[in-house]
């Protein structure tokens, strides 16, 4: 009886050791995946920062004004001024529908 208990205990210990090894292996794989993803996120954020800086550089008002002046004959772009915008009174709102139309 005692020997059966020792054998079963040994099998239980071996089984738990195999299970623990598998869990450790999966944990290490997950940590490596997380490390790779974080490195990719860092590089993408850096690339995004570079692109935002390039966008800001290309959209400088003085540069855009110079481009508009150079291409005025072809594009006909003019600077924005307040008189180009309408007032709220000029907006044509639709008339509310009558109740008889809603019933249909």
Taking only the tens place, the pLDDT of each residue in 32-90 is: 999 999 999 999 999 999 999 999 999 999 998 898 889 888 988 877 777 778 888 88
Cβ atoms of 8 and 1 closer than 8 Å: no
3-state secondary structure of 93: coil
Average pLDDT value for residue range 9-15: 96
DSSP state of 89: G
Taking only the tens place, the pLDDT of each residue in 51-66 is: 999 999 999 999 988 9
Q: Which among 79, 58, 81 is positioned nearest to 69, based on CA atoms?
A: 79
Distance, in Å, from the CA atom of 62 to the CA atom of 68, rounded to the nearest integer, reads: 10
List the structure tokens of 36: 């790779």
């Amino acid at each position: 009886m005692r020997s059966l208990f020792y054998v079963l205990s040994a099998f239980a210990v071996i089984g738990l050791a195999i299970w623990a090894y598998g869990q450790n292996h999966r944990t290490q794989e997950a940590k490596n995946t997380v490390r790779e993803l974080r490195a990719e996120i860092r590089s993408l954020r850096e690339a995004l920062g570079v692109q935002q800086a390039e966008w800001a550089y290309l959209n400088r008002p003085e540069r855009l004004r110079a481009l508009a002046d150079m291409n005025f004959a072809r594009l006909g772009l003019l600077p924005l001024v307040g008189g180009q915008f309408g007032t709220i009174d000029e907006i044509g709102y639709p008339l509310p529908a009558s109740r008889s139309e809603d019933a249909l």
